[in-house]
Amino acid sequence: MNKETHKTIRILATMENDLYLDINVPIGTGEIDVWEFIRDGNIDGEDMTQYDGYANGSWKWRDPLYGNDFNPDAVDVSERIAKL
């Protein structure tokens, strides 16, 4: 396998995971204040837990990037793609 016989294509995907974190705030705290607290970076992602809901862990595939330099370390799918 070399650049004369193969080309490298980058596959892009986003994995969707629903995460949650239950927090306690004073009763008088308004929704805008809570959102500002979150938006300002006060929630540590490491404290969040995966929510086992519908379609959790699904993938959103994006258009592949063509025209990359050949990468000899890329995953070779020649045999699998030839079976299509």
Per the CB < 8 A criterion, the answer to whether 74 and 7 are in contact is no
pLDDT band for position 26 (cuts 50, 70, 90): very high
CA angle 78, 82, 3 (to 5 degrees): 35
- The predicted pLDDT at position 55 comes to 64
- The predicted pLDDT at position 51 comes to 82
Q: What is the mean pLDDT of residues 12-17?
A: 86
List, in sequence order, every residue forming a beta bridge with 65; answer none if it has no partner: 10
SS3 82: helix
pLDDT tens-digit readout, 61-81: 899 999 999 999 999 999 989
What single letter denotes the amino acid at residue 12?
L
What is the Cα Rg of the chain in Å?
22
SS3 36: helix
pLDDT tens-digit readout, 39-67: 999 999 889 888 887 667 788 889 999 99
